[in-house]
Chain A
Amino acid sequence: DTSGKRIALSNNYAGNSWRQAMLGSWEKVAGQAVTDGVVAEAPAFTTAENQVTEQAAQIQNMILQGYDAIVINAASPDALNGAVKQACDAGIVVVSFDGIVTEPCAYRIAVDFKAMGKVEVDYLATRIDGGNLLEIRGLAGVFVDDEISAGIHEGVAEHSQFKIVGSVHGDWAQDVAQKAVAGILPSLPDIAAVVTQGGDGYGAAQAFAAAGRPTPLIVMGNRYDEMLWWKEQKDANGYETMSVSIAPGVGTLAFWVAQMILDGKDVPQDLTVPFLTVTQDTLEDSLAGTQPGGVANVEYSLEDAMAAIAGK
């Protein structure tokens, strides 16, 4: 019985659509759980700045407030370990997801970002014979960026018909990506496809259009605007691509995992969740299920969570 337990979400950033969708899912699922009396409290906390030290301080404040479990989307995989360890030492269950922490005492709900990168190239190999690729990366020096990029490069090494002719940092932001692509595009040869990390596909499409270049095959990242654009293209000229990203609802999985641990259930320390893929066929459904400005999402119920764990 966890009806007296309190679970807090420590979130390091709220300034983009993915995070907003994540917070929305949390509020919906965890809020329902509180109403249903499954847990006593499940507030979400966001730091004003995406900053390790602020989040560490936030976690410490949560320790002080005596939460039973802390669910974390971390600003850094290693740099929060100090605070996480303190939480564990205080007997608090720590579950990290998306931005996971490496501290051994914490639970991790990880996405295999490397595989995500590789899937993109694998998909391209099924679609086109080969050609030049443009890679849009995330924020330099951040772990996720390196992982996805490594996966992409691994894929390219496997499929030697592809060649990455340009690589820019789009910081996972649509407008930054648009700017970076617009700058490098004039000097690039014909681009067959664009591999992305999510949140930047629409910006790339805009940049190609603005430069008057033929639209290449752009791998999308499940954002509403990306899917909407894709849909328009699909209806207009049968444009075909794929879209892949981690679902913001994974936060709710983390919530249930924390709840189960508090409930005394046996949960493995490391879980891997599949990333969410939208294909040509599922596009309409995904689009319909996503609210404007959001991200294609899957929210977990307790049963889903149990299934996810059992499936492991």
Chain B
Amino acid sequence: MNASDKTIVSLTHVAKHFGAVRALDGVDLTVTAGECLGLVGHNGAGKSTLMNVLAGTLSADKGTISVHGHDLSGRYSVSTAGENGIRCVFQELSLCPNLSVAENARIFHPSLTGFGWKRRAGDMIHAKLDEIFPGHGITPDDVVADLSIGKRQMVEIARAFTTTNAPLHLVILDEPTSSLDAVTSGQLLDFVRKVVGSGISCILISHVLGEVLNYADRIVVMKDGLVVASKPGSDFTRDTLVAAMGNVVEVEEIKDHQAFEAKRGQTEIVIEARSDTALDSVPLVAHRGEIIGLAGLASHGQTTMLLKIYDAAMRNKRTPKVDGPVALVAGDRQTDGVFHLWSISRNVGVRSLRRMVKRGLIDPLAEAALGREWQERIKIKTPDMDDNILSLSGGNQQKALFARALASDADIILMDDPMRGVDIGTKLEVYDLIRDEAAQGRTFLWYTTEMDELYNCDHTYVFRDGAIVADLTRDALSEEKILQSSFQESA
């Protein structure tokens, strides 16, 4: 009885099938009070599905679920989860874009009614944002649609931690840091430690293994719908964790991998752009075959710059100068990327239609072949590329978008933090892919919120407040330098 006192939820033999796909194949999981449980696994391992079961948004085909020692199997739903203090920040954002931040907070709390509810909801979410993300720059009256994806993610996280009269025992964070920059990620993870100290539990899913290793009390590893390891966090090292996830790829330290020779000057300039601020210290320049990193804190003008370049290329504008066809890998896949009615193949092929036209008509065989080729090359985990794109796990959807751009005829690939939610194994392969393509003359503009990825780049431009404030070559690149430029007050 004592043990179950500390146990918040326990799932046993939970199974969930989608047609032929066994997303969950008999999973056991317990969460005890006041622990931070790290959950890792390759894309499509079943993490989000498991969390959906826990949050009550999916009902399991088999297995039991008990909360605080009460068996609730069969009558578990979103509202029972809520009543029992279980909250979830889903991988795909669940805010209403047409509502303000305060109103979105209200949605979460049925008891927030009566006169003055708006002020109360606003104060509540604002206080929580202040607590988790000091300096967040969000006001309760902001309409969610006007916020960048990073800020939306912050709002959603903060919302999950707000309390009114309902209890709060467990917060599930499904890849909460995928759209946050290093600084805000750190703020969140520190907050998670603090909350855990106060007795509330968290489940933290992330593909950035460092986050899990450093912040989780216990780490659960999933693979193909099964839990394959569950040990205290301190028992894992980066290598053993990767091994447990079943990746055969040797983990090479990216930092050491490179032997970049300075290419600059050897090939012609294909992109030359300035931000709209007129405060740039240098213009953004890309030569053919270069990989250019865009760094800085999230939404400080990097995406805007990519869109500006994209727009210029699409409309044949003179400035900024863009030489060659472009393709873009969207990071905010829900609003910028997927075509939700289409199969995976079609989603991959849409940027390459022109090549698939035979005698005026799109050749379905060519389309299917392209899909298969990229399923192979980038390891999209699905039984059938003709399945709907939304049947993919989040990371696999992202891979499909990657495939869309790489498969195209574009010489210039713009990447808007493209690795959001992609697992470590795939990432390493994609890095190789990108380097190979660059070697063959493709140019990459790569906005990323993950410091490590910048070590793949020949040049890194740091953005602050919409302006380019630094141009770091590969040799000069270091985490400190980037952080320094990101925060430095303009004199």
A and B, direct touch (CB closer than 8 Å): no
Interface residues of A (CB under 8 A from B): none
